[in-house]
Chains A and B, each alone.
Chain A
Amino acid sequence: MKEIYLDHAATSPMHPEVIEKMTELMGSVYGNASSIHSIGRHARKYLDDAKMVLAQSIGAKDQEIIMTSGGSEADNLAIFGTAYARRNEGRHIITSQIEHHAVLHTCERLEKQGFKVTYLPVNAQGVVSVQDVQQALTDDTILVTIMYGNNEVGSIQPIKEIGSLLKKHKATFHTDAVQAYGIEKFDVEDLQVDLLSVSAHKLNGPKGIGFLYQRENTPLQSTLLGGEQERKRRAGTENIPAICAFAEAVRIAQANFEVKQQEFVSFQELFLNTLDQAKISYHVNGDRANTLPHVLNISFTGMDVESFLVNLDMAGIAASSGSACTAGLIDPSHVLVAMYGKGAPELRNSIRFSFGFGLSLEDVQVAADKTVEIVERLAK
């Protein structure tokens, strides 16, 4: 049985050209970029070129890119780094209840150290209100961290509006764009963010690599200390093959933005039409009007997520109850709790299907048909 992987928001397979690039460079550009000899300088050039590609993809300058080991490290660096660098200016942080755990748990850690954190609510579509941000701002606020697009339900947040609101405030503005990068086009000047996190493995790049965009002159205290790599902002030997592979993945994503978006929208339509035709009772979680097209989170009336997932899995369909990072145990999703409240049926009957590279319309049709079968069987 062919497995159909509908969990691209958890992680994605590497693009064949990306892995080819990466393994080629492992052999040919293995030098340490900090070495002063020719093999080191050769490696440095590859590093600089790759960072240029990454910077340009979000409208940044190459020196504003800090390579990290992934999205979680980028989020930790953004939040700890800002809090510690600006602790003398204030101790208040604003975030939302639907952030990734790399943001939420880092904020909770800071609360234990005397910082005050406001966790903004969201509406039933999973969207933060700009007005709430405005009302939460105080003279003591040093950081606002709101994700670009939610990883569980796909709702896109009003980043640009918050960015323009914060233009008149001293607070640093961070957005976790891990789930949106490579899917949505954005520009840091347009968004007016100061810090932005991304990860490679969500867009068919390698695992273990990501970056934090840091607007020039944005205060940030390093979290990984040691050598003077990344302009003294992040120590550790540069992972050049992975960084170049990341740049390659970004190049491929950029060349296919429109095609990919349309494809994912058509996947969503096909999936939902199939459910409609079978008269399945469901509703989509998230903001249908403004969503990441590769995330489709569906609440199936009367279903139970655990047996549903097991059945999907047995049918060869890899989907998820929410974020993979928390999926080890099926705890109710904090995102759905924020949207619907504790005890809501959606907490027990929602499945996330997420699309990506390598999927065809046929695959999605098969997955939708099997989903219908399972719902009908379980409903009996």
Chain B
Amino acid sequence: MIYLDHSATTKPDSAVMQTFIQANERYYANPASLHQMGTEANTLLMKAREQIAQILKTEPEHIIFTSGGTESNNFAIKGFARANQHRGKHILISAIEHPSVIESARHLTNEGFELEFIDVDKNGSVKLSDLQSKIRKDTVLVSIMHVNNEMGAIQPILEMAKIIRSNSRAFFHVDAVQSFGKLPVQFQGDNGPDALTISGHKINGLKGTGLLAFSKRIKIQPIQHGGGQELGYRSGTVAVPQNVALAKAMRLAVEQMAENTPKFEKWREDLHAFFNKFYHVHVISNNGGAPHIISCSVRGLKGEVVVNALQSEGFIVSTSSACSSKDSSISHVIEALQIEESFEKGVIRISLGNGLTNSDIEQFKVVFAKMMKQLKGETIQL
């Protein structure tokens, strides 16, 4: 099986697993414990925090470990909005956010917040003019994903930050789950986001790991209460081995970027050109997007049918996103892009990651072409 679904989840790197195993053997104590073993575990945890802070260009005390991207997004949105409602109760997010952002923001409307969506263009890019017209003095929170998980669009974070800063006192949260390790992700003081969400399992780290990072000290209300771990922001016994493994995965991801990015970009451009040859295929992603996500649709077919056909030939791709792929209706992202109706249901996503070779991509093209011939009767010159 050739795995082309790295945006859904990835296999942990063997070095990350090794780190995890070693940390478990020696540093299993509770880092909140006062004894030597607890102190040692805490020192290791602090080291992981420092390494991550360096990567993201912030301070160690601004890194809050969580159970993953979903928790980080829930925490950022509910936690910040609730703690700062005196500033205003208006929230802006894009129409193509991850469900964990959309559902959290929607939930806040039950608490008296007002939610508006910023439109995207047909490339999936947030319309800056729409942000400009919707941002208000009482906007308390803007949350935008850096890279869209279903079709790879990269959002203009710095331009957005400028508009947000000059028109409001809003907090700017960026869900960087799909971009970290694929694009440079760092804080830039006041010129960039105030908070970033990162998940371990999308970058060859472990499932159940993630973080929310801040550029500076901010006021945020915990969503999980108890022992007051993580500087009081997130209660629950801190999983030291997991967090050390997250620091390792993040370091590796950043190191591997130099090698991966040109490779992924070449494959992406190649696949875009390949898909464009088919009359019955509509290419949704574009060469301006993230290097690892390619999305297209086959006319008149269901995504599941395409996924199964490719799988029977040994290639694993997904329908739009794993989180919503059990839902047979059309994804909210595809809906926001307003693509032609005959292409709405046949969307597949190919997402690249570690371990792939040129020949895997060549093989994929052969298999896809064969499928197109069988299912749509369309043949192209390979």
Which chain B residues lie closer than 8 Å to A317 at the CB level?
Answer: 35
Which chain B residues lie closer than 8 Å to A23 at the CB level?
Answer: 17, 20-21
Of all chain A residues, which has the CB nearest B107? Answer: A225
- Inter-chain CA distance A23–B241, complex, in Å, is 13
Known interface pairs A226-B100, A325-B237; A14-B226 also in contact (CB < 8 Å): no
Q: Map CB proximity to A onto B193-221 as digits: 1 under 8 Å, 0 otherwise.
A: 00000010100001111000000000000
Interface CB pairs A-B, < 8 A, 10: A102-B227, A102-B235, A105-B235, A225-B74, A227-B70, A236-B100, A237-B68, A237-B70, A237-B199, A239-B207
A284 contacts partner chain B, Cβ-Cβ < 8 Å: no
Which chain B residues lie closer than 8 Å to A237 at the CB level?
Answer: 9, 68-70, 199, 201, 207, 322-323
Which chain A residues lie closer than 8 Å to B17 at the CB level?
Answer: 23, 26-27
How many of chain A's residues have a CB under 8 angstroms from any CB in B?
74
Q: Contacts A36-B319, A69-B208 known; list 16 others, CB within 8 Å.
A: A7-B29, A7-B30, A10-B30, A10-B237, A11-B30, A14-B28, A31-B8, A72-B226, A207-B242, A208-B242, A226-B70, A226-B98, A236-B69, A241-B206, A318-B33, A326-B228
A328 contacts partner chain B, Cβ-Cβ < 8 Å: yes
- Which of these binds chain A: B131-139, B178-186, B274-282, B324-332? B324-332
Nearest CB on A from B17, distance (A): 5
B265 contacts partner chain A, Cβ-Cβ < 8 Å: no
Which chain B residues lie closer than 8 Å to A325 at the CB level?
Answer: 32, 226-229, 235, 237
Nearest CB on B from A72, distance (A): 4
Nearest CB on A from B201, distance (A): 6
Which chain B residues lie closer than 8 Å to A242 at the CB level?
Answer: 207-208
B residues touching A (Cβ–Cβ < 8 Å)? 1, 3, 5, 8-12, 14, 17, 20-21, 24, 28-30, 32-38, 66-71, 73-74, 98-101, 103-104, 106-107, 199, 201, 206-209, 223-229, 235-242, 304, 307-308, 311, 316-319, 322-327
Of the residues B5, B37, B73, contact of A35 by C-beta under 8 Å:
B5
Which chain A residues lie closer than 8 Å to B318 at the CB level?
Answer: 35-37
- Inter-chain CA distance A70–B235, complex, in Å, is 10
- Inter-chain CA distance A72–B32, complex, in Å, is 15
| Contact across chains for B24 and A14 when beta carbons are under 8 A apart | yes
- Inter-chain CA distance A48–B70, complex, in Å, is 21
Which chain A residues lie closer than 8 Å to B106 at the CB level?
Answer: 225
The total number of A-B Cβ pairs within 8 Å is 260
| Contact across chains for B327 and A69 when beta carbons are under 8 A apart | no
Which chain B residues lie closer than 8 Å to A293 at the CB level?
Answer: none
| Contact across chains for A226 and B73 when beta carbons are under 8 A apart | yes
- Inter-chain CA distance A109–B28, complex, in Å, is 31
| Contact across chains for A328 and B32 when beta carbons are under 8 A apart | yes
| Contact across chains for B1 and A39 when beta carbons are under 8 A apart | yes
Of the residues B67, B224, B304, contact of A36 by C-beta under 8 Å:
B304
| Contact across chains for A19 and B24 when beta carbons are under 8 A apart | yes
Nearest CB on B from A108, distance (A): 8
Of all chain B residues, which has the CB nearest A9? Answer: B30
Nearest CB on A from B226, distance (A): 3
| Contact across chains for A224 and B71 when beta carbons are under 8 A apart | yes
Known interface pairs A235-B103, A318-B35; A38-B241 also in contact (CB < 8 Å): no
A residues touching B (Cβ–Cβ < 8 Å)? 3, 5, 7, 10-14, 19, 23, 26-27, 30-32, 34-40, 69-73, 75-76, 100-103, 105-106, 108-109, 199, 201, 206-209, 223-229, 235-242, 309, 312-313, 316-321, 323-328, 330
Which chain A residues lie closer than 8 Å to B242 at the CB level?
Answer: 206-208
| Contact across chains for B21 and A34 when beta carbons are under 8 A apart | no
Which chain B residues lie closer than 8 Å to A103 at the CB level?
Answer: 226
- Inter-chain CA distance A130–B71, complex, in Å, is 37
- Inter-chain CA distance A240–B229, complex, in Å, is 25
Which chain B residues lie closer than 8 Å to A227 at the CB level?
Answer: 70, 99-100, 322-324
- Inter-chain CA distance A327–B307, complex, in Å, is 52
Known interface pairs A236-B69, A318-B38, A320-B35; A225-B224 also in contact (CB < 8 Å): no
Which chain A residues lie closer than 8 Å to B12 at the CB level?
Answer: 26-27, 30
Of all chain A residues, which has the CB nearest B106? Answer: A225
- Inter-chain CA distance A201–B208, complex, in Å, is 14
Which chain A residues lie closer than 8 Å to B240 at the CB level?
Answer: 207
Of the residues B103, B228, B323, B326, contact of A101 by C-beta under 8 Å:
B228
Which chain B residues lie closer than 8 Å to A13 at the CB level?
Answer: 24, 28
Of all chain B residues, which has the CB nearest A319? Answer: B35
Most chain A Cβ neighbours within 10 Å, of B32, B103, B223, B237: B237
Which chain A residues lie closer than 8 Å to B227 at the CB level?
Answer: 72, 100-102, 323-326
**The 9 nearest A-B residue pairs measured at CB:** A325-B227, A226-B100, A102-B226, A69-B67, A227-B323, A72-B236, A225-B103, A239-B208, A207-B239
